[in-house]
Amino acid sequence: MGQQISVKASQCIWERLIAAAPAVAPRQVIALDPAALRGCGLSERKSEYLLDLARHFASGALDPSCWAGMDDDALIADLVKVRGIGRWTAQMFLIFNLLRPDVLPLDDLGLQRAISLRYCAGRKASRARMKKLGALWSPWRSVATWYLWRSLDPVPVEY
């Protein structure tokens, strides 16, 4: 919902969605007309993605009760089966929602930039170089990622 828009705009859309589907439960979201989702501020494409996500939960294809026992790669593989969820989105979910401590989002532009500045004298870091550095930070690669992001913009983010 919040991809490529401001935190403030995302919060406004979220509040409208809660007004339309107070429990934000999969079956409640599925019952909404696509026009109602767009009325919340979601684009047509994001509405399609949200409905597909809700269908995955409603059918049991995504089962949060299994997630604690799944390793990161298996969980990412399940999440990317949902339209609109790619590897980067799944990794952000693991880092920010599931608080997984050892996720290294190699496709994240902020991480790439921070590694370039902090470890490669400003030159673009190769994927192999990033993986090699990441191996040094395991099992705390998510934490290293947070610090590297903060190194780019040390001012706290307001939500």
Instruction: Report d(CA 17, CA 41) in Å as an integer.
Output: 9
Note whether 25 and 53 are within 8 A (CB): no
Is 108 considered catalytic here? yes
115: alpha, beta or left, given left = phi > 0 and alpha = psi -120 to 50? alpha
Instruction: Report d(CA 121, CA 127) in Å as an integer.
Output: 16
Query: With 0-12 CB in 10 A as exposed, 13-18 as middle and 19+ as buried, what is 50?
Result: buried
Instruction: Report d(CA 71, CA 89) in Å as an integer.
Output: 16
Q: Token pair of 71, please?
A: 């390793």
Catalytic residue among 63, 73, 108, 153: 108
Question: Which active-site residues does the annotation give?
Answer: 108
